A and B are shown apart, each in its own frame.
Chain A
Amino acid sequence: MMIELNEMVMPGIYTSIAEWIACLIFIYCSPRRLKGWKLAFVLLATLLVLIAVNEKRVHTYGLPWFGFMALGLAAMYACICLCAGQSWLEACYTWANAFVLAEFVASLTWEAVYYFSLRMQGSISRNLLIMIALYTICFALAWLFEKRPWREPKTIHARGWDTGSAVIIAIAVFSISNISFAFQDTLYAQSLGVGMLTVRTVVDFAGLMLLYAHKENLREVQLRFELESMNKLFHSQYEQYHRYRENDEIIKKQYHDLKHQIAMIRAERDPKKQEHYLARLNESLELYETQHKTGNPVVDTMLSGQSMRCREKGIQLISYADAAQLDFVSAMDLCSIFGNALDNAIECVENIKDPEKRQITVYVYVKNQFIIIRFENFYNQPLHFKDGLPITTKRNQVLHGYGIRNIRENARKYGGNVNIHAEDGCFQLLVLLPIKQNTH
């Protein structure tokens, strides 16, 4: 029996709606660029374009068929690019995912409609019922999978290579599954008959799984990379601490030498030489002025070390700190908190021209049974926040921004919390730690 191929061609509306919903899901699950009526407008326009293009496409074959297909795909890409806050490369990656998802859902649904309704001359309402049911189930599953709240990291950054492979997968899947529909007179199409629908669904499903696996892999690689970067920074602060401690020893030695110098000046008769010695004495004293005494040796070393760094940059680092009760925090964690917070503050203050505003203040005090560490500095550039943390002003966003996240991790380890405020040109980083009695 010859099967009329035309009967098996999916109406354009199935593809259009599936493509549109797939776009919606991926836009919903990513940060958005457009909001409110602008978003609604772009989405509505995309839907209309998709319906129009796909309606035209199903009545053609060969080259024009591909032309209309490409137009529809371009509309999807434009929609994602406009609505989701992603770079064009990332949008391309998202687009490949959305496209294969839409292909699969539309193909599965159409197959079901064909088998359970069309073949038996079913009514339009039955077609519609099958379509609504399957679309709801499939897209709900896809949405849940995409939106899983526990997955880390929340956003993944697809690079050129990742996007390239995703697009190749999408194109491969599409060409294998649709070749017989595009060229309906080929032998391939004739020999498969109704089985063509199943072949298409299965191929689309395989493509979808391939893309999901690819994405999960990407997420894993990114997570590992982030953990490694944070760890590296964490350790570098500790190494810095050891360097500062060596410096500290030198300063302490110099302090003892001062007494000898004073004796020398007393003995010196030549006023010129005496003046010279006095000037040198003053220099040594200034070095000692950068010393901080807070009651915790690690905090002292970190503050004094960073003080010297600040001095070279013409920044004043001042402290009003009672850190005697901070012993329950390990030296490594203290280095990470103070090192990262001060690095962050220095970076911020460095850009300020007004010398009176090149100033960082550190407060440490006890309130109730909590210790509060507060870093305050002026800032002059607008800051943008994401998840309560400022987005790094450094160029490479993938690499930086781990400093404050490190502090947050440290605070959480002790059951504490980190907040950030930027108001009236004053930046404040607050660390709250519940005081625990030292057990070791």
Chain B
Amino acid sequence: MLHIAIVEDDPKYQRELQTAVERYARKHKELIRTSIFSDGDEILENYTANYDIILLDIQMRRMDGMRAAERIRELDTNVILVFVTQMVNFAVQGYAVNAMDFLIKPISYPSMERVLRKAVALCKKHTQYITVPTSKGLLRLDAQKIYYFESFSHRIIVHAEEGKEYQLRETMRKMEETFGPHGFFRCNNCYLVNLSFVESVELGTVVVAGHQLAISRPRRKAFMEALTNYLGGIKV
């Protein structure tokens, strides 16, 4: 079940937002619970990080949306923020608080659907883990802490954050199947790269968290496409 918070001081827009969310839930057969707050300070009072999505009005009387968003981000880095505003050009500060998108008043259902579809897909993206052997025993490692996998004589070397390396008896094909849907892509026969750490792509190399890896000519085009989709926010 998804939990959506609506923070809006005008009762008219509160209703509009809630109706649109309910319509989305009915149409896409999602279980959605909504909580309504009528100002920025209300949601922050006893803030519990149990919302999946927050729809946040920018212009509010006591605490405006942008300040509320900054405070929320201090407490909760994962929640998806969507601003609600009257302006057609949304302020650049939105990216500073990592807001996913924004909606324009009056709320139209097609836009709500477009935005919620993206937000719900993001919520449902679960984290993938991998169990690796270490000297102290087995370690459960979050895929988002891995830079890249390297295949080396029937073994897989896991290159993770802080220069840590682990070895596994696995095949590259198996790794690709498991991590392909989680933003990993092959740039070469022996490297499977986490796209969120790609810093640059030159003609023959790709830089992943400071490591220069060779990119093979036939894979370059597909790699660029995967990278564009991944960074562009389209599920791969």
Does chain A bind chain B?
A: yes
- Residues of A at the B interface (CB closer than 8 Å) are 289-295, 303, 307, 316-322, 324, 354, 356-357, 359, 365-370, 372, 374, 376, 378, 388, 415, 417-419, 421, 424, 426, 428, 430, 432, 434
- Asked whether any CB of chain A lies closer than 8 Å to the CB of B202, the reply is yes
Q: Taking CB as reference atom, which chain A residue is nearest B106?
A: A356
Is the CB of B77 closer than 8 A to any CB of chain A?
Answer: no
Whether the Cβ atoms of A359 and B92 lie closer than 8 Å is: no
Once bound together, how far apart are the Cα atoms of A376 and B111, in whole Å? 11
A356–B104 alpha-carbon span in the complex (Å): 11
Residues of chain A contacted by B224 (CB below 8 angstroms) = 417, 432
3 smallest A-B Cβ distances: which pairs?
A: A356-B108, A430-B232, A417-B224
Complex formed: what's the CA distance from A224 to B234 in Å? 36
* Contact call B92/A295, Cβ cutoff below 8 A: yes
Q: Are B110 and A318 in contact (CB under 8 A)?
A: no
Listed residue (A295, A317, A318, A321) with the most chain B CB atoms within 10 angstroms of its CB: A318
Residues of B within 8 A of A294 (CB): 89, 92
Q: Is the CB of A417 within 8 A of B109?
A: no
Chain B residue with minimal CB distance to A367? B231
Rounded to whole angstroms, the CA-CA distance of A359 and B94 in the bound complex is 20
Inside 8 A of B104's CB, which chain A residues have their CB? 316, 318
Q: Is residue B200 contacting chain A, with contact meaning CB distance below 8 A?
A: yes
Q: Across the interface, do A359 and B110 meet the contact criterion of CB distance under 8 Å?
A: yes
Could you tell me if A372 and B232 are in contact, using CB atoms closer than 8 angstroms?
yes
Chain B interface category by residue count: 20 to 34
Supposing A369-B199, A372-B232, A432-B228 touch, asked if A424 and B117 sit within 8 A by C-beta, the answer is yes
Kindly provide the distance from the CB of B71 to the nearest chain A CB, expressed in whole angstroms.
Answer: 21
Q: Are A320 and B88 in contact, with the CB atoms below 8 A?
A: no
* Docked-complex contact A368 and B199, CB < 8 angstroms: yes
In the complex, besides A356-B111, A430-B229, A432-B227, 7 extra interface pairs with C-beta distance below 8 angstroms are A293-B89, A294-B89, A318-B88, A320-B94, A374-B232, A417-B225, A419-B225
How far is it, in angstroms, between the C-alpha of A367 and the C-alpha of B234 when the chains are bound? 14
Q: Given the interface contacts A322-B95, A415-B202, does A370 sit within 8 Å of B89 by beta carbon? A: no
CB distance from A304 to the nearest CB of B (A): 9
Instruction: Determine how close the nearest CB of chain B comes to the CB of A361; give it in whole angstroms.
Output: 8
**A368 contacts across to B, CB distance below 8 A:** 196-199, 231
Q: CA–CA, A294 to B93, complex, Å? A: 11
Residues 91-142 of B contacting A (Cβ, < 8 Å) = 92, 94-95, 101-102, 104, 108-111, 114, 117
Q: Does A321 lie within 8 Å of B92, measured CB to CB?
A: yes
List A contacts of B232 (CB < 8 A): 372, 374, 419, 428, 430, 432
CB neighbours (8 Å) of B201 from chain A are 415, 434
Known contacts being A430-B229, A432-B228, is A319 close to B89, with CB within 8 Å?
A: yes
Return chain B residues, CB-CB under 8 Å to A307.
88
Q: Does B13 contact A (CB under 8 A)?
A: no
By a CB distance below 8 angstroms, the chain A residues around B204 are none
